[in-house]
């Protein structure tokens, strides 16, 4: 006797594949269509949580019901029939049960992730273990080593966090957004989640992720999504995870720090290491736990001395406090981001090639806002809604979002290029909130007619002129440090003027 009929086998194989497919690639949609056939809802090519919420009866719920029925049926066949089933059949059964339990415990798992104010409660692990053993404690079942109640529970929790934060931080439903989400998912679980579950789940801290892309495209949001989705061990004896995932992300904005303080902030210092070092101090590399992440924003701005020390840390996983000779082990994960072209910086001897090759084992590129939106009013509306809620709160969100969308449609159009990316869109919303209008200008350029017209007519305020000039210098050098040196001002002033610049066409 076979465990599956021909029709059941085709459906079961697709559901098993669904369990281990990156949810943000087109394959997910294709598998759901094959599983549900004519019952499939929708015509989208990108799987999106916002689409999923629209339907009272959605594809996910339909598949959940189908899997529940199939698992119950296959369990009885296994229990009642003493014949030996084939290894491939039993492997598919294993994967169906993994999918079934994931859906059965989805609500309790998501509750432990979504409510950021309460300490998560995992007392339901006891019932989870009972259910797990019910389906797998059969004579014919020989589970693979990674399928233990604790390990599966840990991975479920990690998957739920990844799902939530990727969707929460990366807004939109375009193909470009789907590709970005899929890339983030791979940075967490790799492209082969089978191998991840077998042997990589507790080794990903050794892999550094470099996030590149234009300023204002959400590099820090990508970093946060990855950091908050790291694997954390679970202790079944006390029904708690080893650390609270809400406390494992440590962002450092390097361009906002004086070079003299970066080394101390990263690695700490010993008392007397320099003037003002009145006591021993641990840096962020030391404070980061084995399941934590240090995010180095604008890594292209650090000087060569810090680059050398960071290279040593990435090579040996060890570092020393400033003024000390004792080695300290770094236990966490490094994420780094830059809007600079590091390969060009290497050619001009502004960034070490050996450090770059330690950083580039995993690269994510954040696309420009215009690429993310692809001229879609739907995606623009989603992002404007999200930003409006942050600015004015839930009660006024809909009204402000509608005002903003209408203004954009009638004044600059849905295909506006948004050279300042999300940062510019946010300022557009604030302008409309305060003044009911926005004055966008497309790109810093000394050859732009709008700039020279304003310049000749003396229509520029001194602050605007300084901001634009700082932006032009920064665009040429690609470095806040070099720009500050050329301009004779502090690099933090350069950064603030670049970010405040009004862009001219």
Query: Are 416 and 299 within one domain?
Result: no
- Give the separation between CA 150 and CA 164, rounded to whole angstroms: 21
| Main-chain phi, psi angles of 110, to 5 degrees | -65, -35
Q: Alpha-carbon dihedral of residues 405, 411, 413, 418, nearest 10 degrees? A: -80
Is residue 397 one of the residues assigned to a domain? yes
For 451-482, write each residue's pLDDT tens digit. 666 777 787 778 878 888 888 888 777 778 88
Tokens matching residue 202: 């507790």
* Domain final residue pick, 325, 349, 367: 367
CA 280 to chain centre: 34
Is 242 in contact with 290 (CB distance < 8 Å)?
A: no
Is 364 in contact with 183 (CB distance < 8 Å)?
A: yes
Is residue 442 one of the residues assigned to a domain? no
**What element of type H or E holds 296?**
strand 293-297
Query: Are 161 and 15 within one domain?
Result: yes
Tokens matching residue 187: 């940075």
* Domain final residue pick, 367, 383, 406: 367
Low-confidence ranges of the chain (pLDDT < 70): 1, 45-57, 82-83, 114-117, 441-453, 502-505
| Main-chain phi, psi angles of 200, to 5 degrees | -105, -15
Q: Are strands 234-235 and 249-253 parallel, antiparallel or unpaired?
A: unpaired
- Give the HSE-up count for residue 316: Cα atoms under 13 Å, Cβ half-sphere: 12
Query: Are 330 and 476 within one domain?
Result: no
b/e 300-334 (16+ beta carbons within 10 angstroms → b): bbbeeebbebbbebbeeeebbbbebeeebebebbb
Q: Are strands 234-235 and 240-241 parallel, antiparallel or unpaired?
A: antiparallel
Query: Are 175 and 304 within one domain?
Result: no
Tokens matching residue 250: 């440590």
The predicted structure's pLDDT at residue 441: 65
CA distances from 328 to 272, 288, 324, 354 (A): 19, 12, 10, 22
Is 312 in contact with 353 (CB distance < 8 Å)?
A: no
The predicted structure's pLDDT at residue 65: 95
Is residue 213 one of the residues assigned to a domain? no
CB atoms within 10 A of CB 504: 23
Residue 180 gets the label, from left (phi > 0), alpha (psi -120 to 50) or beta, of alpha
Query: Are 275 and 356 within one domain?
Result: yes
Is residue 346 one of the residues assigned to a domain? yes
The vertex-180 CA angle with 175 and 183, nearest 5°, equals: 125
Query: Are 142 and 174 within one domain?
Result: yes
Is residue 207 one of the residues assigned to a domain? no
The DSSP symbol for 199 reads I
Is 232 in contact with 243 (CB distance < 8 Å)?
A: yes
Query: Are 44 and 123 within one domain?
Result: yes
Query: Are 116 and 30 within one domain?
Result: yes
Query: Are 305 and 253 within one domain?
Result: yes
Is residue 211 one of the residues assigned to a domain? no
Is residue 205 one of the residues assigned to a domain? no
- Give the separation between CA 351 and CA 346, rounded to whole angstroms: 5
Is residue 1 one of the residues assigned to a domain? no
- Give the separation between CA 259 and CA 281, rounded to whole angstroms: 18
Query: Are 233 and 190 within one domain?
Result: no
For 219-258, write each residue's pLDDT tens digit. 999 999 999 999 999 999 999 999 999 899 999 999 888 8
pTM (predicted TM-score): 0.84
Residue 276 exposed, middle or buried by CB count within 10 Å (0-12, 13-18, 19+):
exposed
Query: Are 463 and 403 within one domain?
Result: no
The residues near 424 (Cβ < 8 Å, ≥ 6 apart) are: 216, 369, 418, 440, 503
Ranges of beta strands (E only) in 16-64 are none
Query: Are 188 and 85 within one domain?
Result: yes
The predicted structure's pLDDT at residue 419: 86
- Domain residues for the domain of 453 are 449-500
Domain count, the chain: 4
The residues near 488 (Cβ < 8 Å, ≥ 6 apart) are: none
* Domain final residue pick, 323, 339, 367: 367
Helix residue spans in 81-218 (DSSP H): 87-104, 106-114, 125-136, 149-169, 175-189, 193-195
The residues near 400 (Cβ < 8 Å, ≥ 6 apart) are: 388, 391, 392, 429, 432, 433
């Amino acid at each position: 006797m076979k465990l599956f009929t021909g029709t059941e086998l085709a459906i079961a194989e697709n559901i098993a594949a669904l369990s281990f497919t990156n949810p943000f690639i087109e394959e997910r949609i294709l598998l759901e269509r094959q599983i549900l056939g004519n019952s499939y809802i929708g015509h989208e090519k990108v799987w999106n949580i916002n689409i999923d919420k629209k339907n009272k009866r959605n594809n996910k719920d339909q598949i959940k019901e189908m899997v529940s029925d199939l698992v119950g049926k296959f369990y009885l066949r296994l229990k009642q029939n003493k014949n030996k089933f084939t290894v491939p059949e039993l492997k598919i059964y294993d994967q169906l049960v993994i999918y079934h339990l994931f859906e059965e415990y989805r609500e309790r798992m998501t509750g432990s992730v979504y409510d950021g104010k309460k300490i998560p409660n995992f007392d339901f692990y006891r019932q989870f273990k009972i259910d797990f053993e019910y389906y797998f404690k059969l004579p014919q079942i020989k589970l693979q080593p990674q399928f233990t109640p604790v390990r599966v529970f840990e991975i479920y929790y990690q998957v739920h966090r990844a799902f939530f934060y990727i969707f929460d931080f990366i807004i939109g439903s375009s193909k470009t957004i789907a590709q970005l989400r899929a890339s983030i998912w791979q940075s967490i679980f790799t492209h082969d989640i089978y191998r991840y579950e077998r042997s990589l789940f507790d080794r990903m801290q050794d892999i550094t992720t470099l996030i590149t892309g234009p300023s204002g495209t959400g590099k820090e949001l990508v970093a946060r999504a990855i950091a908050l989705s790291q694997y954390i061990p679970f202790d079944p004896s006390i029904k708690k995870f080893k650390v609270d995932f809400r406390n494992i992300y440590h962002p450092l904005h390097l361009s906002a720090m004086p070079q003299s303080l970066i080394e101390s902030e990263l690695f700490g210092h010993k008392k007397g290491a320099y003037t003002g070092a009145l006591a021993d101090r641990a840096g962020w590399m030391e404070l980061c736990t084995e399941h934590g992440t240090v995010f180095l924003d604008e890594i292209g701005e650090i000087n060569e001395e810090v680059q050398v020390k960071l290279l040593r840390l990435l090579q040996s996983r060890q570092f020393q406090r400033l003024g000390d000779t004792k080695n300290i082990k770094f236990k966490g994960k490094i994420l780094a981001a830059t809007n600079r072209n590091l390969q060009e910086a290497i050619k001009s001897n502004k960034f070490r090639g050996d450090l770059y090759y330690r950083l580039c084992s995993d690269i994510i590129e954040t696309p420009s806002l215009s690429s993310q939106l692809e001229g879609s009013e739907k995606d623009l509306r989603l992002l404007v809604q999200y930003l409006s809620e942050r600015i004015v709160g839930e009660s006024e969100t809909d009204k402000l979002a509608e005002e903003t969308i209408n203004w954009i449609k009638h004044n600059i159009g849905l295909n506006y290029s948004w050279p300042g990316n999300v940062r510019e869109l946010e300022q557009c919303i604030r302008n409309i909130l305060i003044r009911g209008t926005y004055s966008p200008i497309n790109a810093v350029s000394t050859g732009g007619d709008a700039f020279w017209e304003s310049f000749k007519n003396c229509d520029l305020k001194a602050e605007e002129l300084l901001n634009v000039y700082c932006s032009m210098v920064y665009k040429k050098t690609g470095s806040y440090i070099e720009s500050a040196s050329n301009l004779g001002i502090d690099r933090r002033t350069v950064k603030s003027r670049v970010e405040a610049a009004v862009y001219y066409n």
